[in-house]
Amino acid sequence: MITLIGLEGIPVIKAGDDLGEIIVKAAERQGIGIRDGDVVVVTQKVVSKAEGRLINLEEVRPSSFAEEVAKSSGKDPKHVEVILRETRRIVKMRGHVLVMETRHGFVCANAGVDLSNVGGGQASLLPEDPDESAKRIRRRIIELTGREVAVIITDTWGRPWRLGQVDFAIGVTGMKPLRDYRGERDPFGYELTATNIAVADELAAAAELAKGKLSGIPVVIIRGYEYPKGDGRATDMNRPIEEDLFR
């Protein structure tokens, strides 16, 4: 049976905090501990806070281009400037929607720059390297508990052609983010030729059900799921541009 457990009592995270230790202590206080095979799912916002990836908007000087985009989008020019700094490529801008490709290769609104849950006058940026962030958290958990776990860092994004947002994996370690069924046969003998399941994204989305957006629970333990063993990165799920029909 797969169980999702939201970790309660995690304090407001500050720059320099040891997330691995905070997670282990929270799990111990809650009486669940950390077990071999657990998937530790961590919201991007607390990772960014711990890594000091917050920016004071009052210190930002918008460029002329940021000013132009702000006029058409209705956004704060300083917010737009930060978005542009975090952008590798502009995918689409229409009205208030700015879809950007980040320096990590992710395609998402506002290049992942977020104004929520960080305090007035600040914006949070995605971690510099979310896969490396996940590795640091995993190493610390293993150091403190001796348990073999996987770690996923998540962020909430919209999806093309679908309403609503879901959580996606932006950092992965301790597991393969994809489960490839190509070459295997279904119960009727049909050989699968295209099925390559993004299990890290599925776990990220499932964990959001236990976190919610307003509950103050930034970490979820997923227990009982047999994830594909090995090591991979969330960026393994970025579609190569030569295979992308829309770029």
pLDDT in tens, 141-184: 999 999 999 999 999 999 888 999 999 999 999 999 998 888 87
Nearest CA to 76 among 93, 94, 96, 92?
96
Tokens 């700094």 -> residue:
85
Pairwise CA distance, residues 47 & 138, whole Å: 13
Rounded Cα–Cα distance for residues 83 and 81 (Å): 5
The span from the CA of 99 to the CA of 36, in Å, is: 39
Q: Where are the alpha helices (DSSP H) in 60-121?
A: 64-73, 77-85
Q: Where are the domains of the chain?
A: 3-53+129-237, 55-124
* Per-residue pLDDT, 243: 82
CATH code of the domain made up of 3-53+129-237: 3.30.1330.100
| 190: confidence class by pLDDT, cuts 50, 70, 90 | confident
Angle at 131 between CA 130 and CA 132, to 5 degrees: 90
CATH class of this structure's domain 55-124: alpha beta
